[in-house]
Amino acid sequence: MSLHVRKSVFALTLVLGAMWAAPVRGQELSFGYQVQHFSSEGDSLNAPLGISLNFAAPTSGMLSVVGQVDWSRKSESGTLFGTSLEATANFTTFAGGVRLSARGNPSVTPFMEALFGVMRSSGSANIAGANVGSGSETDPVLQLGGGVAVPVAGGFGIFGQVDYRRVFPDGTGVNVVRFVAGARLSAK
């Protein structure tokens, strides 16, 4: 395991420990559908199938500690000269950080987040059903973004957010734009 990955895991462990010690009141659990767009050196990839789960625990006033896990997948298949070709890529991210929420208006809550963690990327390729290659790597990731949460009834609400991620693999970095929409449960 590289030094970057060890530092990321250590930081995430600290964030999760702080969340465990937080009071129940005001905690939020969010679940949503996500789409990611990856780009690096003129190449790009859309991962249209994904889910995101995050947990936020208030620390004081507008500030919360956040832990997040998400997964996206891109799969393509086709036929070339009567031979089937398939390729699949999976992206799983574990991150933690802080959320700043402006809770002054009861009908809408804008928020901003800064998270740091790791992204595990894996992929495989098959020709005529035979695996011709696969690989994976885990790299540090920095995520900055924000969105809006709208209460619907009681502790149930909906949210939407847009994030920018920078993935730091060895060599060239990767830029990611992430869109998430879903439901949020808040403890009152």
pLDDT of residue 14: 56
**Length in residues, the chain:** 188
pLDDT of residue 186: 87
Could you tell me the residue ranges of all domains in the chain? 3-71+93-119+137-186
pLDDT of residue 15: 52
- Using CA atoms, how far apart are residues 185 and 153, in angstroms rounded to an integer? 10
Q: How confident is the model at residue 84 (pLDDT cuts 50, 70, 90)?
A: confident
* 63-80 and 49-60 strand pairing: antiparallel
User: Per DSSP, what are the bridge partners of residue 111?
Assistant: 101, 147
Q: What is the pLDDT of residues 132-183, one digit of tens each?
A: 778 889 999 999 999 999 999 988 999 999 999 999 988 788 999 999 999 9
pLDDT of residue 181: 97
Dihedral-angle region of residue 132 (phi above 0 means left; psi in -120 to 50 means alpha; beta otherwise): alpha
Name the one residue in this structure whose structure tokens are 């590289």.
2
pLDDT of residue 1: 54
pLDDT of residue 95: 96
In CATH terms, 3-71+93-119+137-186 corresponds, of 2.40.160.20, 3.90.1300.10, 3.30.1330.40, 3.40.50.920, to 2.40.160.20
Percent of the chain with pLDDT over 90: 57
- pTM score: 0.80
Half-sphere exposure of 83 toward its Cβ, with a 13 Å CA cutoff? 8
